[in-house]
Amino acid sequence: MIGLHKPTHTEKAFTLVELLIVCGIFSTIVIVIVSIFVSLIQLQKNILLTKKALGEANYALEFMSRALRMAEKELTEGGECIPFGENYQPIYGNQGIRFKNGNEGGECQEFYLENGQIKFKRQGKPPLALTSPATKISQLQFLLQGESQTDQIQPLVTIVFTVELEQFQPLQFQTSISQRNLDVVY
């Protein structure tokens, strides 16, 4: 019988059980690798969101510091912006501050917290948001020292606020700014 091949028991082949075990091990390895990859992508997303929030908080802090440093004393009785002899006026229960910006021709300006955003308002203009709605700001406070003409202390404003982060602990920011011009008796 030419051309007929009689099978022998010496030929190598995989059994069904061996194939199932190999597929199970391969599936487990793939699942572990994919879950690690998904976790890394989620971690990167959280880090980028945190970086964005910190960038916005830093910008808002720097913007407020520059403006508050240029505040000037109200020298007109019955002034429209702040009381006579004052450098700053707390508003909204210390969650906001009003002042005259000497760098902007004495324009009345405000910083305050509204709906989790730090807002900046100029005299006669609509408010601008210094932070985006995605960056949640809480507990904004302006602590004042030496804001009055009668106290003989150089004006100092301490800004404190907290940035709420989704996956991480809230971060608290704080800085103190002294008025650039000396607070002398006029």
For 128-170, the pLDDT digits (tens) are 999 999 889 988 999 988 766 667 778 889 999 999 887 778 8
Mean pLDDT calculated for residue range 90-110: 89
Q: How many percent of the chain have pLDDT more than 90?
A: 48
**What gap in Å lies between CA 181 and CA 153, rounded to an integer?**
12
Can you give the pLDDT at residue 84? Answer: 85
What is the pLDDT confidence band of residue 79, given thresholds at 50, 70 and 90? confident
Task: Report phi then psi at 33, rounded to 5.
Answer: -65, -45
User: What amino acid occupies position 101?
Assistant: N
Each residue's pLDDT tens digit, 30-49: 999 999 999 999 999 988 88
Rg of the chain over Cα atoms, rounded to whole angstroms, equals 32
Indicate whether 186 pLDDT > 60.
no
Can you give the pLDDT at residue 5? Answer: 60
Mean pLDDT over the full length of the chain: 86
Can you give the pLDDT at residue 140? Answer: 93
DSSP state of 71: E
Can you give the pLDDT at residue 9? Answer: 61
CB atoms within 10 A of CB 149: 18
**What gap in Å lies between CA 149 and CA 73, rounded to an integer?**
8
Indicate whether 180 pLDDT > 90.
no
Can you give the pLDDT at residue 36? Answer: 96
* CA distances for 184 relative to 86, 87, 150, angstroms: 12, 11, 10
- Higher model confidence: residue 183 or residue 100? 100
How close are the terminal C-alpha atoms of the chain, in Å? 125
Can you give the pLDDT at residue 10? Answer: 64
Mean pLDDT calculated for residue range 113-141: 92
Indicate whether 86 pLDDT > 90.
no
Tokens of 49: 């969101």
Q: What DSSP string runs through 105-139? A: TSEEEEEEEETTEEEEEETTS--EESS-TTSEEEE
Upper half-sphere CA count for residue 145 (Cβ side, 13 Å)? 8
Answer for the pair 86, 74: CB distance below 8 angstroms, yes or no.
yes
pTM for the full predicted model: 0.76
* CA distances for 77 relative to 52, 56, 100, angstroms: 44, 38, 14
From 116, 167, 105, 121, select the one nearest 139 (Cα to Cα).
116
